[in-house]
């Protein structure tokens, strides 16, 4: 009997070390900081969120009356779309990320070309392959739709625009016809349209801020660690071993980018997925963050713009950003949250992988397959069993657990 007990003890996993407990505790949702709201004073306003949810689901804001924000961010698909590349009026060249937890990311889009939820929400309206409309049409729709006009005015005040000022579609970034029409408008009319357009984005941003990450079985395990009584039985053996691999800096590099309560550092990294070679047939070029930095800086609806609600000494993320188009940002994409990853396939900015095991395999094989210095990954070795265990841990992050 003594020999049997000794054998069973030797087969069980050792207790969590102090370091492991400390790292696991850092994943607690209780440690989640406030979301980024400094440029949107309506971000926490429930009436703004109510209006924003309606506008989020409103296809009448598109040029065809068939596309809304919810076309790509489907609630029943965890506010993603389940396809490799997003489809609006046309196919886009990037994957649709989930909106759960997006309010806690300073940068939006895979390349970070927008610096707030409300600024991001405006971009699809005037993108020809997304909603294909323009800001004058959006303003006209709000003005002419009684329900929206009344809610808007209760929040933002009287709309100082007349139907005659909105009779012609116009935008400073639209077609040549739309651009000419825009610059034919006087400055006061342009300002009033832009202000209404920005407030539409702020309403949608207020709704999207309500999409907080949800508690999972993994979080119940984390809470037991925080309480000083780790309940490892909340995870399967493979899930627990995978979790320990995940935070083992001698075995993997996961923790370098995927850390904190949302399991992301919110930064941009080159993991060998950029597209720089136009000679490869069928591949679209994608340089990642290198152009996203510039786009964020010139965007008139950014944190430093005249439609922002930030203070004069705010917007530190823009004021101190590295403005040089340096090579280390080429091919870098925003690190996504791993929370709910099992429910938001396909993966990576171009949706190239359909399973989490393929994702893990990429990090194992990519350093060996790429010339030195072309990405940030360093070589490390995992056995097939360890790959399976690490994948099992990622599946434990499902919101359905």
pLDDT tens, position by position, 218-237: 999 999 999 999 999 999 99
pLDDT of residue 7: 44
What are the beta bridge partners of residue 347? 353
Residue 119 is assigned to a structural domain of this protein: yes
Check whether residue 261 and residue 362 sit in a common domain: yes
Report whether 401 contacts 216 (CB < 8 A): yes
Query: What pLDDT band is residue 373 in, cutting at 50, 70 and 90?
Result: confident
Mean pLDDT of the chain: 93
Check whether residue 100 and residue 128 sit in a common domain: yes
Check whether residue 253 and residue 372 sit in a common domain: yes
Least-confidence region, from 32-41, 109-118, 266-275: 266-275
pLDDT of residue 283: 65
Domain closes at, from 177, 209, 241: 209
Check whether residue 120 and residue 55 sit in a common domain: yes
- Find, among 17, 12, 392, the residue nearest to 236 by Cα: 392
Residues constituting the chain: 401
Query: What pLDDT band is residue 92 in, cutting at 50, 70 and 90?
Result: very high
Check whether residue 188 and residue 229 sit in a common domain: no
Check whether residue 198 and residue 333 sit in a common domain: no
Alpha carbon 275 to its chain centroid, in Å, reads 20
pLDDT of residue 5: 42
Q: Is 146 exposed, middle or buried (0-12, 13-18, 19+ CB in 10 A)?
A: exposed
Which residues 6+ apart lie within 8 Å of 208 measured at CB? 52, 56, 99, 102, 103, 117, 121
Residue 304 is assigned to a structural domain of this protein: no
Domain closes at, from 192, 209, 226: 209
pLDDT of residue 325: 60
Check whether residue 230 and residue 87 sit in a common domain: no
Question: What one-character DSSP code corresponds to residue 325?
Answer: -
Percentage of the chain with pLDDT > 70?
Answer: 95
pLDDT of residue 145: 98
Main-chain phi, psi angles of 268, to 5 degrees: -115, 135
363: domain CATH number is: 1.10.760.10
Report CA Rg, the chain: 24
Check whether residue 103 and residue 248 sit in a common domain: no
Check whether residue 27 and residue 54 sit in a common domain: no
Does residue 209 register a pLDDT over 90?
Answer: yes
Helix or strand or coil: residue 91? strand
Residue 267 is assigned to a structural domain of this protein: yes
Domain closes at, from 190, 209, 228: 209
Helix (H) or strand (E) holding 52: helix 46-56
Q: Note the pTM of the prediction, 2 decimals.
A: 0.94
Report whether 329 contacts 288 (CB < 8 A): yes
d(CA 233, CA 236): 7
Check whether residue 184 and residue 131 sit in a common domain: yes
Averaged pLDDT for residues 150-177 = 96
Does residue 397 register a pLDDT over 50?
Answer: yes
CA 211, 212, 218, 219: dihedral to nearest 10 degrees?
A: -150
User: 385 or 379: whose pLDDT is higher?
Assistant: 385
Check whether residue 235 and residue 254 sit in a common domain: yes
Does residue 317 register a pLDDT over 90?
Answer: yes
Check whether residue 120 and residue 220 sit in a common domain: no
Quote the number of domains for the chain. Answer: 2
Query: What pLDDT band is residue 278 in, cutting at 50, 70 and 90?
Result: low
Averaged pLDDT for residues 273-298 = 82
pLDDT of residue 6: 43
Q: Is 282 exposed, middle or buried (0-12, 13-18, 19+ CB in 10 A)?
A: exposed
Report whether 159 contacts 149 (CB < 8 A): yes
Residue 306 is assigned to a structural domain of this protein: no
pLDDT of residue 197: 98
The domain of 70 spans 46-209
């Amino acid at each position: 009997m003594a020999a049997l007990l000794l054998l069973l003890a030797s087969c069980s996993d050792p207790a969590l070390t102090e370091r492991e407990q400390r790292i696991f505790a850092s994943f607690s949702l209780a440690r989640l900081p406030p979301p980024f709201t400094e440029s949107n004073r309506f971000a926490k306003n429930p009436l703004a969120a109510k209006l924003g949810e309606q506008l989020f689901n409103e296809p009448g804001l598109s040029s065809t009356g068939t596309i809304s924000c919810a076309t790509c961010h489907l609630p029943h698909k965890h506010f993603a779309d389940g396809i490799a590349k997003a489809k609006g009026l046309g196919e886009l060249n990037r994957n649709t990320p989930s909106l759960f937890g997006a309010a806690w990311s300073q940068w939006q889009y895979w390349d970070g070309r927008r610096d707030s939820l409300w600024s991001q929400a405006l971009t699809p309206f005037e993108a020809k392959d997304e909603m294909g409309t323009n800001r004058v049409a959006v303003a006209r729709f709000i003005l002419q739709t009684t329900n929206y006009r009344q809610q808007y005015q209760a929040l933002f005040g009287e709309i100082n625009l007349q139907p005659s000022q909105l009779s012609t579609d116009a935008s400073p970034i639209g077609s040549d016809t739309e651009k000419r029409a825009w610059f034919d408008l006087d400055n006061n009319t342009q300002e009033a349209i832009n202000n209404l357009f920005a407030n539409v984005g702020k309403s949608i941003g207020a709704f999207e801020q309500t999409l907080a990450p949800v508690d999972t079985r993994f979080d119940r395990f984390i809470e037991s660690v925080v309480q000083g009584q780790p309940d490892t039985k909340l995870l399967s053996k493979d899930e627990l071993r995978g979790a320990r691999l995940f935070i083992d800096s001698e075995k993997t590099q996961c923790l370098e980018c995927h850390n904190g309560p949302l399991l992301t550092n919110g930064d941009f990294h080159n993991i060998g997925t950029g597209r720089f070679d136009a000679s490869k047939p069928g591949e679209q070029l994608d340089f990642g963050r290198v152009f996203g930095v510039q786009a964020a800086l010139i965007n008139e609806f950014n944190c430093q713009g005249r439609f922002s609600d930030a203070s004069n000494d705010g917007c530190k993320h823009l004021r101190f950003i590295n403005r040089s188009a340096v090579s280390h940002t080429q091919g870098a994409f925003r690190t996504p949250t791993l929370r709910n990853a099992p429910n938001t396939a396909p993966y990576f900015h171009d949706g190239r992988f359909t399973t989490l095991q393929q994702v893990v395999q990429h990090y194992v094989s990519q350093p060996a397959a790429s010339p030195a210095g072309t990405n940030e990954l360093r070589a490390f070795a995992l056995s097939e069993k360890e790959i399976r265990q690490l994948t099992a841990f990622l599946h434990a992050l499902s919101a359905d657990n």
